[in-house]
């Protein structure tokens, strides 16, 4: 059994450098899609469902696309700016998700629906990058 475990580890350890990239890219794509779904701006859906003003219904999708794009782009920056951009875009994502919970999903606190939704994972990965910064 140990031989099989060592063999699998020797193969998969070659791809270990991808671990944070997988999280970063999936989080970024998810947020870009969330923001893009609200187009054209201002988002009529946000104004109708949540009674947002046209300015807020424009800023929310832009924040999602900006945060998602920046979390991906920051992974390519090899200087302290990469760390700063990672943390600031993660902050945008965490704040965005907090407001999503408070406004759009307030009936989910603390229920199984919250922990079986994609939103809690987006929040968790955003929080990971906020606390950890640019790890690689």
- Domain hosting 107: range is 19-132
Q: Is residue 1 part of a domain?
A: no
Mean pLDDT of 39-62: 94
In a domain, 111, yes or no: yes
How sure is the predictor about 136, in pLDDT bands with cuts at 50, 70 and 90?
Answer: low
- 45: in domain: yes
User: 108: burial class by Cβ within 10 Å (0-12, 13-18, 19+)?
Assistant: middle
Mean pLDDT for the stretch of residues 33-43: 93
Residue 55 phi/psi, 5-degree rounding, is: -65, -45
13 lies in some domain: no
71 within 8 A of 86, measured Cβ to Cβ: yes
Question: What count of residues does the chain have?
Answer: 136
Q: How many domains does the chain have?
A: 1
Q: Is the peptide bond before 42 cis (omega within 30 degrees of 0)?
A: yes
Q: Is pLDDT above 70 for 75?
A: yes
């Amino acid at each position: 059994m140990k031989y099989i475990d060592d063999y699998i580890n020797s193969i998969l350890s070659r791809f270990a450098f991808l671990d944070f990239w997988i999280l970063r890219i999936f989080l970024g794509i998810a947020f870009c899609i969330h923001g893009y779904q609200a187009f054209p701006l201002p988002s009529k859906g946000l104004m109708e469902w949540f009674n947002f003003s046209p300015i807020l219904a424009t800023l929310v999708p832009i924040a999602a696309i900006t945060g998602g794009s920046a979390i991906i782009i920051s992974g390519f920056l090899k200087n302290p700016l990469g760390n700063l951009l990672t943390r600031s875009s993660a902050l945008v994502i965490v704040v965005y998700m907090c407001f999503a919970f408070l406004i759009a999903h307030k009936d989910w606190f603390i229920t199984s629906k919250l922990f079986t939704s994609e939103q809690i994972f987006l929040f968790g990965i955003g929080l990971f990058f906020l606390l950890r910064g640019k790890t690689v």
